[in-house]
Structures are given as structure tokens and as C-alpha cells.
Chain A
């Protein structure tokens, strides 16, 4: 046993699930799914944001530069990408508000005396409805965005 523990720093990472620990959202319920979506939407939105700052910088190049940059986004693919941005930002915002409240212990319930079957009070319907509302709002926003972008107004 001592030999096993001798090189503790080597053992620190032994048998850790690693990235696949958070990349797999399927095993532990809605909260884990929300954690997964929150991260992915966050990463996606950061990429979009950097791209958007770059894209709008073409303004300083005059009308031609702006129009040629705009032409890249005014395609069905560009519209689909924008619909995804609308959906992810809506989910990230709504779920973010839920998380700020939850992480300051709002809407989690109170500690008590657990009894069989030992369901966790923090994984309650208030939290789950928060996740569902975020998902529904994202879907509605995507639908609305899609109807405007593809509606030919």
C-alpha cells in the first residue's frame, strides 16, 4: 500500500473520468443536462461574440467592406447560425438567472430530516421547471427568430 501511495502526485489523476465526465450529460438527470448545456452554450456564445466583434469591425472599412461581410451572413447557413445564437443566448440567460438564484440558495428548499427514499430537496420541481422554462424559451425564441429571418419580411 505504501508503495502504491508513494507517488501520490501520479495517483492524483489516476482513474479520473476526465473530460468525458462532463461531456456525457445523460446519466444524472435534468440538472446535469443543464450543466452541460450551460457550458456548451457559453463556449458557443463566446465564439460568436468574438466573431461578431470582428465582423462589425468591417464598418470602419467603408460601405463595400461592410456589404461584403454582410453578404457572408445573409445566407441560409448564416440565418441558421443566427437562429442557433438566438436559442443558445436565450437558454444561457434564463438558465443563468436560475443558477444565480440557486447558487445563492434561493428556491432550493430547506435542510430537514431525510427519510426513505432519500430524494434530494435541492433537485426539486422549482429547479427543474426553471430548466424546462429555459428550454421552452430558447425554442420559442428560435422559432420567432426563424420566422423573421426566413419570413422574407
Chain B
């Protein structure tokens, strides 16, 4: 007899291997773009790098705004998927799993949406 507790079929939208490949790729990708993002603070004297004018000037450069958007998307996917993994291991019932999936997806989209709003507005300032 095989227990009913064992997950048999893959009823999820994406296979877990696909999700985890995305997790690895976003992690590696984020590492490189965040490195560029941090290095940008060293382009101008460090103490003035966070001054409003300098920051806004960075946002006005299109490629840098795009880089920020990429960082936002990559880290949101990687971070909230990591959170999903930790939460999904805590309890095993359909309701909890559904809640975790919806919550992490919604949180991810909310952070991406909020960050994108900042990038777009700051790019036009």
C-alpha cells in the first residue's frame, strides 16, 4: 500500500525542475547585475554617490534604468521563490500550498510593480 500522503502526479503549472532551473539562473544573473549596480556607486566619489542629483542622473540613463529593472525582476523571482520553498516545506495540505503559491506570486508581482513605478517615474524626472 502506498500512502495517500505521497505526491504522485505533477499537477502544478510548471514542473518543479523548471522552477528550480529558473531559481538557479535568476540567482546567477542577479549576482552579475547587482555587482554592476554596486560598482556604479564607485563611479562618482563614494560620499556623494547617494546625493539626489547623482542618483537621479543614474536613473535617467536608459541602460542603467533597464539594469535596475532586470535586478528588480531577477531578485524578486529568486527571493520570493526561495521564500516559497521555505514555506512549502512547513505544512503539507492543499490549502496551505495554494496560499503559499498565491501569496509569494502576488508579493513578487507587487514588489516588481512598485519598483518599476519608481524606475519609470525617476527615469522621466
Contact = CB atoms under 8 A, between A and B. Distances in A.
Chains A and B directly touch (beta carbon < 8 Å): yes
A60 B24 CA distance: 33
Interface residues of B, number: 33
Q: Is the interface of B mostly helix, strand, loop or mixed?
A: helix
Q: Is the interface of A mostly helix, strand, loop or mixed?
A: helix
26 contacts: A9-B5, A39-B86, A42-B79, A42-B86, A46-B79, A46-B82, A49-B75, A49-B76, A49-B79, A50-B111, A53-B72, A53-B111, A53-B115, A57-B114, A57-B117, A59-B52, A59-B55, A59-B56, A60-B118, A66-B52, A66-B55, A93-B31, A100-B27, A100-B28, A148-B46, A153-B46
B79 A45 contact: yes
A57 B86 CA distance: 28
B1 to A, nearest CB: 10
Contacts of A8: 3-5
Contacts of B86: 39, 42-43
Contacts, number: 67
A39 B5 CA distance: 26
Interface in B47-83: 47, 50, 52, 55-56, 59, 72, 75-76, 79-80, 82-83
Contacts of B125: 59-60
